Amino acid sequence: MVKQRTVLIVEDDPNTAELVATYLQRENFVALVEHDGARGLQLARERQPDLLILDVMLPGLDGLEICRRLRSESQVPILLLTAREEELDRVLGFSLGADDYVVKPFSPRELVERVKAILRRVSPAPAVSQVLQHADLRLDTEKHKVSRAGQPINLTTSEYKLLQTLMAAPGRVFSRSELLRHFYDHEEAVVDRVIDVHINKLRQKIEPDPGHPVFIETVRGFGYRFAEKRPDA
């Protein structure tokens, strides 16, 4: 029997929350609903859902602050739900660790498909264990762990997927559009700058000197690549 996935919806509009919950339940999800930001954060910590749908504009504690707090302690996938359409808001949401972003008004069916797509991306792959290593940077695909010089590095789901994609093909240049397609089934919903945000945050975590990266290289005018191993490495 397939285990039901749990989705926590933190949305202050009861009609919207009920609509989303109904469509998720039709697809065999367990849907939890909370209308208050602070209580939603507490529920997320207590129940540890498989995915969190967060409205940005919440009373008291807003969705972006909840996203920031959860991302410092958890890798739970987060989908932001908001009426804001400005590109800056999207980039801010992704910079805080959100996995996807849906603007109101939205199609409930599309929202459910996005939830499924996120969960597919974060589900552990049944592939054979593989360790990707460059100098003292190590990525274990079976354990989903990253370390440098033996010290563990805590990455978000998006950061981990991005690093794995780049490390698996050292020297290959990936355009921003290619990298976007690795993470989002609906590319029109995001912008190229999102990749720049993820790259910047990833460099802050894995590079000895983020201002002079030695692992993730920028190929001006094209995109990014992971450094090729030195012959003596």
Summarize pLDDT for 87-97 with one digit per residue, the tens: 666 677 788 88
pLDDT at 55 over 80: yes
Taking residues 55-74, what's their average pLDDT? 89
pLDDT, position 230: 56
Adjacent-strand bridge partners of 131: 140
Q: Quote the CA–CA distance of 158 and 122 in Å, as a whole number.
A: 9
Residue 13 has pLDDT above 70, yes or no: yes
What pLDDT was estimated at residue 232?
44
Please give the pLDDT value at position 180.
Answer: 78
Element (H, E) at 177: helix 176-183
Nearest to 6 by CA among 53, 38, 42: 53
What pLDDT band is residue 126 in, cutting at 50, 70 and 90?
very low
pLDDT tens, residue by residue, 185-229:
544 445 567 888 889 999 999 999 999 999 999 998 889 999 987
pLDDT above 90 for 66? yes
User: What is the rounded distance in angstroms from the CA atom of residue 22 to the CA atom of residue 7?
Assistant: 12
Domains of the chain: 6-122 (3.40.50.2300), 131-226 (1.10.10.10)
CA atoms within 13 A on the CB side of 162: 29
pTM above 0.85, yes or no: no
Q: Terminus-to-terminus CA distance in the chain, angstroms? A: 47
CA-based torsion, 220, 226, 230, 233: positive or negative: positive
| Residues 138-176: tens digit of each pLDDT | 999 888 899 999 999 999 888 898 999 899 888 889 888
Strands 6-10 and 30-34: parallel
Q: What is the pLDDT of residues 20-34, one digit of tens each?
A: 999 999 998 999 999
35, 146, 184, 208 from 84: Cα distances, Å? 19, 34, 20, 37
